[in-house]
Amino acid sequence: MFNEFQKQCEKLAGKVEIPPKGIDADLAAPCFEAAKKEGRSPVEIAKELEAKFKKLPNLIQKIEAKGPYLNFYINYDEFSKLVIDEISRRGDKYGSADKKKTVVIEYSSPNIAKPLTIGHLSTTIMGQALNNIYTFLGYKVISDNHLGDWGTQFGKLIYAYKTWGDKAKVEKNPIEELLELYVKFHREAETNEKLNDEARAWFKRLEDGDKEAKEIWEWFVEVSLREFDRMYRVLGVKFDHSIGESFYMPMLKDIIQETLKKKVSKEENGAIIATFDDMPTALVQKSDGATLYLTRDLATIKYQKKEFRFWKRLYVVGSEQRLHFRQVFRMAELLGYIKEGECVHVDVGQISLPTGRISTRKGNVVFMEDVVNKTIEMAKETLKKKNPDLKNSDEVAKAVAIGAIKYSNLSRDRVRDMKFDWNEILSFEGDTGPYLQYTYARANSILKKTRSKPSKNPVYEEAVEQSIIKKLSQFSYVLERSAEENKPNLIANYIFELATLFNEFYHTHKVIGSDDEAKRIALIKSVMQVIENGLDLLGVSVLDEM
């Protein structure tokens, strides 16, 4: 509905924008460009425009010149009815759209036989949130878990398994056992160089299609995926495809020849490289014939553009890979695989733990599972203190913990690094997941006490009520911006602002038994619906009681 108000304003004055905090207006039209064209003062033009509009559209209460801006104010008598009606009518679809274009989103992307670590947490959560947002806006979303399932490390792992491995142990605890074998190989290889020769020989057998090597490798992939999926289920993460790098290996010779033929790359000292005017040289193939991530990423783009016909392909990958993706995308454009802007690196900052707050496992890595389990245990303790009689406390604690982890990641600008602090993210105060879940539960407690039916055509005169109405109306506007910028934090920040307004209303306004009970119930139901819709996009569950 805010979009409709915006359209009415734009018909009158052209470009409008949401004014910064502290400015008493709902939208404002800057008059600087018109002033520059006409060689006059923007203040003068704003005053002229104010005098020009006599009859206003139904959603605009008034227009007022303030300095170089033309300010627009909402007619809440009309606006409130339409906002409450639309939320009531559309329910869990409120804010959705019907874009229909195809978007491929790549996220998580772990290496086979290695653990999901704290380093995967942000990209996994961020990718799923973007999947949810684009799907809600009507895009056809194809999610791809681009697995690291190829490379010389598998020669090392096959040798280690054949030498020291125990199949029953690996079946029971795949990732930890395979990681231990991998670490042991490197430890032993420090004093026995022949082990590296053995590993290279096993990987050569794998590349040549040797039956035994292939069977062991396929088993590594199978048991690893089983473990990954167990963790993904806990986090509510889903993929349409889990296409490993091995899938693209047969395509690489043709890709490399194409880069040479189209003069995107050249041979130099036995290696194949690509040079650029504005960034460092990229290695396409090593002098020993080995390919790299870049080559495999080019094959991925070429294959998926043809297979999925995507409008956009998003790579939710750490910020440290910025240069890599700049090079990959430039080469893909020069090769004619994609047009500029069709592939986007959604760069994500690193996540770290306070030193000594959780023990590392073998290989000096922090398992994602350990972080999640510790958060659940701490959530149980917190809830036990706050509400010892809470029903289904274990389920609620899990929802609070997972919500806290997700929200702490998604409420920050994704490019910023984050230090994971349990006390902070599990707080019921401030900008946290538990605070928003508690706000929803608090609103629900009011609905349980009322017998009034919500008003169908409410008019709100109180300033805080009008602020809530305006905030509710901006939901679809925020969703659109979130998708345009690939920033779920815009939704998280919006929900927090809405919850803060609601809590201000809750503390200052009586609902049950007041003369305005019916229309305030309508407002509360609308707030709950929008909080639920927004949190659902972030993958955070709402709770009726906490």
Give 255-270 pLDDT, tens digit per residue: 999 999 999 999 999 9
Residues of the chain with pLDDT > 70: what percent? 98
pLDDT tens profile 286-335: 998 888 899 999 999 999 999 999 999 999 999 999 999 999 999 999 99
The mean per-residue pLDDT over the stretch 131-137 comes to 98
Distance, CA of 128 to chain centre:
6
Average pLDDT, integer, range 488-510: 96
* Per-residue pLDDT, 350: 87
Bridge partners (DSSP) of residue 28 are 17, 71
Question: What would the mean pLDDT of 124-141 be, rounded to a whole number?
Answer: 98
Q: What digits encode the pLDDT tens for the residues 170-204?
A: 999 999 999 999 999 999 999 999 999 999 999 99
Q: Is residue 57 classed as helix, strand or coil in its secondary structure?
A: coil
H/E segment holding residue 284? strand 282-285
Other C-beta atoms lying within 10 Å of the C-beta of residue 409: 28
Sequence-separated (6 or more) residues with CB below 8 Å from residue 392: none
Which is it for strands 312-318 and 343-348: parallel, antiparallel or unpaired? parallel
Tell me: the pLDDT tens digits for 402-458? Answer: 999 999 999 999 999 888 888 899 999 999 999 999 999 999 999 999 998 999 889
pLDDT digits (tens, 9 = 90+) for 455-484: 988 999 999 999 999 999 999 999 999 999
Reported confidence tier of residue 356, pLDDT bands at 50, 70, 90: low
Whether the pLDDT of residue 359 is over 80: the answer is no
Q: How confident is the model at residue 54 (pLDDT cuts 50, 70, 90)?
A: confident
Give the pLDDT band of residue 357 (cuts 50, 70, 90). Answer: low
Edge to edge, what strands does the sheet with 102-106 contain? 140-144, 102-106, 312-318, 343-348
Q: Which residues make beta-bridge pairs with 74?
A: 60
Q: How confident is the prediction for the chain on average, in pLDDT?
A: 93
DSSP 395: H
DSSP state of 391: T
Please report which residue ranges of 173-210 form alpha helices under DSSP H. 174-189, 194-207
pLDDT value of position 352: 82
Would you place residue 361 in the very low, low, confident or very high pLDDT band (cuts 50, 70, 90)?
low
Q: What is the pTM of this model?
A: 0.92
The dihedral of CA 76, 79, 81, 83: what is its sign? Answer: negative
pLDDT at residue 38, rounded to an integer? 87
**Would the pLDDT of 235 be above 60?**
yes
Helices (H), 72-210: 76-90, 118-136, 153-164, 167-172, 174-189, 194-207
Task: State residue 19's pLDDT score.
Answer: 86
d(CA 151, CA 44): 68
Give yes or no for a contact between 245 and 147, defined as CB atoms under 8 angstroms apart: yes
Residue 362's pLDDT is: 56
The domains located in the chain, with CATH, are 2-74 (3.30.1360.70), 151-237 (no CATH)
Binning pLDDT at 50, 70 and 90, where does residue 364 land? low
* Residue 175 CB neighbours (<10 A): 24
Is a pLDDT exceeding 90 seen at residue 37? no
Joined tokens for residue 428: 């019921």
